[in-house]
Structure 1
């Protein structure tokens, strides 16, 4: 099985031979998006909020955007 360094070097060799600018731009976007996703660290409270949100979805404790808009308008008109 190849090591991480071997994989990186193989990719570098392949990239150096690519002449298609559009392909390279697309590859750059993919790598940049992947890098920023992998570098994001969530705090414990953010993780807890996501878990609570997921639990709400699983148990059907959600409302539509339309219903939320109606609630907001009712609340604003009641002020």
Structure 2
């Protein structure tokens, strides 16, 4: 596997040698989208629900995926 510097150099060379505007725009979009950090703004109610969920996890008040599927099947019957 190539190391970071080799990959970076190869990409730079390819970017400089292309005249394909669509390709360059796509590459630019990739870089731009990875630079933007998406922030989620939670309501006070959502924050409270997350705190409750953390407490439930802390005290083992959880149901496994298998148990939940079984309960769903029983409920749907």
TM-score of Structure 1 vs Structure 2, range by shorter chain: 0.5 to 0.7
Q: Is 1:28 paired with 2:32?
A: yes
Residues 1-79 of structure 1 aligned to structure 2 (within 5 Å): 20=15, 24-32=28-36, 34=37, 36-37=38-39, 40-77=40-77
Mapped partners of 1:74, 1:26: distance in 2: 46
Q: Which has the larger radius of gyration?
A: 2
Mapped partners of 1:56, 1:70: distance in 2: 21
Count of residues in correspondence between the two structures = 56
